[in-house]
Structure 1
Amino acid sequence: MQIAQGDILDFSAYLEQTARPSQEAVVWKWHDVAASLASRPHNVQGTLVLADGEAVDRATIAPGLSLVVQVLKAGETTKPHRHSFWHLYIVRAGAGEVSLGAELRRQRVAEGDVLFVPAWHTHAVHNLEGEVPLVLLRLQNLPQNASLGTLAREDDGHLKHIYANEHVAAV
């Protein structure tokens, strides 16, 4: 591996390079989101990300934050896992349960509920009732962790650091 030579900048040049344009307000209409959900491949971990196409980091809604639309169809569940970023869940539709902590304590959630899961807190989401999909809006600081190089996830006791270049490091 070759080590790159660093640049030395004047402080004023540094300030110019770190300046960002001010962000404009953005709206996502739910009927557009729902139509996109119907036409995209289903994934229990998340189907859509609402993104500001004009932002410096296009996959975010604000610096360091992303908003995922996660849908679990009736009978679906995610595996217990934990990771280096937090989630703020808002239940948009349906009902289900969330398993939390090392003991996987079950907590029922329904439309309108809000749940915060801290970083490194084990969790899983379940839609084990009825025929109505469980639709969650999930605000998270995953992009912040990715930009700092601290994005990591643990599944089944296996910790993996996540990089865009997967060959760089995997634990």
Structure 2
Amino acid sequence: MPITQGDILEFSSYLEQTARPSQDAVVWKWHEVAAALASRPHNVQGTLVLADGEAIDRATIAPGLSLVIQVLKAGETTKPHRHSFWHLYIVRSGSGEVSLGADLRRQRLVEGDVSFVPAWYTHAVHNLQDDASLVLFRLQNLPQNASLGTLAREDDGRLKHIYARKDLVAI
């Protein structure tokens, strides 16, 4: 990987370059989100991300934050895992359980419940229903971790440092 020569800036110039335009308010209509959920490929880790197409980082809803719509169909579960970013789960519809901590203690979740999972906290989500999907809103600081180069995930005891750049090696 090449090393480049750094630049030296006056502090006032630095402040001007770090200034960002103010963000406009954004609205997502549930009927449009539901239609997109029905037409997009299913992934148990997340089906859609609500994004502000006008933001500097359009995959976010606010600086450093993303909002994922996670759908677990009847009987589906995620594998226990942990990572460098936190989640705030809000149950939109359905019911299920979240397994938390090294001992994977299960907690029941129903519509309207909220669960916070700190960074590096082992967790899994389970839909135990036979006939309905569990729909979760998942607010997270994954974009913040990605921008800092600290995005990492552990599955099955294997740690993976995640980079978008191909010239950087994952561990």
Structure 1 length normalisation: TM-score? 0.97
Identity of aligned residues (%): 83
User: Which sections of structure 2, spanning at least 5 residues, go unmatched?
Assistant: none
Structure-2 change in CA distance of 1:166 and 1:104 (3 Å):
farther
User: Which residue is 1:52 aligned to?
Assistant: 52
User: Which residue is 2:137 aligned to?
Assistant: 137
Counterpart of 2:71, as a letter, is V
Could you say what secondary structure the match of 2:54 adopts?
A: coil
Query: 1:1-171, aligned counterparts within 5 Å?
Result: 1-171=1-171
Counterpart of 1:65, as a letter, is L
Deviation string 1:5-51 (CA, Å, 9 cap, x unpaired) is 11111222211111111111111000000000001000000000001
Deviation string 1:102-141 (CA, Å, 9 cap, x unpaired) is 0011111010000000000000001122211000000000
Q: Distance in 1 between matches of 2:124 and 2:2?
A: 41
Q: Distance in 2 between matches of 1:146 and 1:124?
A: 22
Q: Distance in 2 between matches of 1:109 and 1:87?
A: 15
Could you say what secondary structure the match of 1:107 adopts?
A: strand
Q: Distance in 2 between matches of 1:52 and 1:147?
A: 17
What is the alpha-carbon root mean square deviation over aligned residues?
Answer: 0.9
Counterpart of 1:114, as a letter, is V
Q: Distance in 1 between matches of 2:60 and 2:168?
A: 24
Counterpart of 1:120, as a letter, is W
| Runs ≥4 residues deviating over 3 A | none
Q: Distance in 2 between matches of 1:106 and 1:167?
A: 40
How far the C-alpha of 1:166 sits from its partner, in A, is 4.4
Counterpart of 2:65, as a letter, is L
Counterpart of 1:70, as a letter, is Q
User: Which sections of structure 1, spanning at least 5 residues, go unmatched?
Assistant: none
Q: Distance in 2 between matches of 1:3 and 1:57?
A: 26
Counterpart of 2:93, as a letter, is A
